[in-house]
Amino acid sequence: MRRIIKPVRKLGGTVRLPGDKSIAHRAALFSILSKAPLIVKNFPSGADCQRSLAAAETIGVRIERNNDGMILHPPATFQSSEDTVIDCGNSGTTVRLLTGLLAGSTAGGTLIGDESLSRRPMKRIIDPLTEMGAEIFAAEGGTLPLKVRGRKLTSLEYLMPVASAQVKSSLLLAGLASSCDVTIRETIITRNHTELMLQEIGKGLEVRDIKAVAVEDPNDPRKRRMVRPEPYRREIRLKADAVINGGEIDIPGDFSTAVFFMGAAAISGQTVTITDVGLNPTRTAMLDHLKAVGCKVDIDNRATISGEVRGDLKVTGGKLKPRKISGDTTVGLIDEIPMVAVMAAFATGTTIIRDAQELRVKESDRLMAISENLKKLGIKVGLLEDGLAIEGGKDLNGADFESFGDHRIAMAFSIAGLFLHGPSSIDDDSSVSVSCPDFYKLVDQVTQ
């Protein structure tokens, strides 16, 4: 349904967000392999996470709901086979993590998805899982549907060729399901929710950071330089006897959704507080970005619960400046790039975003979607193979935006519409239900 977005006169206040999607997916799927029930609090209602929960139920998890959340009772035996169809909808996390889990299990499944998910690349999990001995049958081009025939897998040592927490988690779940050693090495550190959850409610996982050491400079023996002794930055080792024991998972507010409220504060110059939001260091590159472009960030009530850092986040906007983003910074901001680009439209100067080619294969081609929508504002945009060049700082009028069926595009340009001259619209606001069905209600809380 098309949604009209009217400019706001005043913005500010406090908002509490639904549970973190990345953590919720893992809680749902971990319950399949757990030795005892998982108590899960603040599980979000978004369609993506509900797909993971439904998949767990199909495989045999019993869901007991109560006032505090739910209890996930693991199956005595798996109830799916390679011919059991499991619809993953639009959720890349569901299909990639579940593929690994099923590949190493005594079960199996045929994983399907919507049109968007059916175009997304799956070879990045198929190849290393096949190296472990997995039997996975994909459509031509390595896309959905995937038929997974569970079997006993062999150990794996794997240097990650792309920065992907989904690939890493898929391989760790395969090792857990098959009780085999898995060693993963990362040259770029990715989200570590799987590792933290396993360390919190299980055992058998070791994480080693490769620290740089001082060595003699071969060009000048009087000097020393810092060198990392291994060609990677982090090593994650899952032992063959690793298990999930069960326990409690209290999910903090979703940082990725919080980004849109941070962006609203940044553009408006006002203050928005987001309470009890996840602050995992592998997720918070946006906070550094906000500071770099002229905003103020404060954190109160910091705590660690269920292995995850959380706190109350207060963002105050300022006069926005442009920034050049590339390399590790882009990786840290990859899901936040739609909001980063919208903020760039309101900044004075040209923002350059590079090394973001991964956005071409998300729910939409996000680089193209961002470019098309910014052009509707009259913004000068250069669409690059791996990024964008955005010349901001102009007086911007309302426009009719396209969501491209992508929740992050819809959310980002809905926020943009709050600060334009005249009304704007989003062609289809239903895509936000994938991650945050109450998004527009939450926006109302800080714009009235």
Structure tokens, 83: 């011919």
Q: Are residues 59 and 116 in the same domain?
A: yes
Which string of DSSP letters, residue by residue, matches 263-305? HHHHHHT-EEEEEEEE--TTTTHHHHHHHHTT-EEEEEEEEEE
Same domain, 324 and 228: no
- Alpha carbon separation from 296 to 273, 302, 313 (Å, rounded): 12, 17, 11
d(CA 130, CA 12): 51
pLDDT at 220: 83
Query: Do residues 11 and 71 share a domain?
Result: no
Same-domain check for residues 120 and 191: yes
Q: Please tell me the distance from the alpha carbon of residue 41 to that of residue 21, in angstroms, as a whole number.
A: 13
Residues 49 and 127 both lie in one domain:
yes
Same domain flag for 280 and 322: yes
Name every residue whose Cβ is closer than 8 Å to that of residue 155 and which is 6 or more positions away in sequence. Answer: 132, 175, 180, 181, 182, 183, 240
**Nearest-CA neighbor of 386 among 364, 361, 402, 367?**
367
Pair 165, 261 in one domain? no
Burial bucket for residue 200 (CB in 10 Å: 0-12, 13-18, 19+): middle
Q: What pLDDT, on the 0 to 100 scale, is given for residue 225?
A: 85
The dihedrals phi and psi of 174, each to the nearest 5 degrees, come to -60, -45
Answer with the one of 223, 250, 277 that is the final residue of a domain. Answer: 250
* Torsional sign, CA 138, 139, 142, 145: negative
- Asked whether residue 257 falls in the same domain as residue 244, the answer is no
Of 224, 250, 276, the one marking the end of a domain is: 250
- The residue among 215, 250, 285 that closes a domain is 250
Identify the helix (H) or strand (E) that includes residue 381. Answer: strand 380-383
CA atoms within 13 A on the CB side of 310: 22
Same structural domain, 37 and 10 = no
CATH value at residue 211? 3.65.10.10
Per-residue confidence (pLDDT) for residue 223, from 0 to 100: 85
How far is it between the farthest Cα atoms of the chain? 69
Q: Are residues 31 and 130 in the same domain?
A: yes
393-413: pLDDT as tens digits: 878 999 999 999 999 999 999
* Domain carrying residue 408: 3-18+252-445
Q: What pLDDT, on the 0 to 100 scale, is given for residue 413?
A: 98
Low pLDDT (below 50) residues in the chain:
none
Q: Are residues 8 and 67 in the same domain?
A: no
Q: How many domains does the chain have?
A: 2
Q: Based on the fold, state whether residues 285 and 351 are members of the same structural domain.
A: yes
Peptide bond into 145 cis (omega under 30): yes
> What Å distances lie between residue 364 and 3, 116, 335, CA to CA?
20, 7, 12
- Active-site residues, by number, are 335
Q: What is the pTM of this model?
A: 0.96
- Please give the full DSSP string across 94-136, using - where no structure is assigned: HHHHHHHHHHTSS-EEEEE--TTGGGS--HHHHHHHHHTT-EE
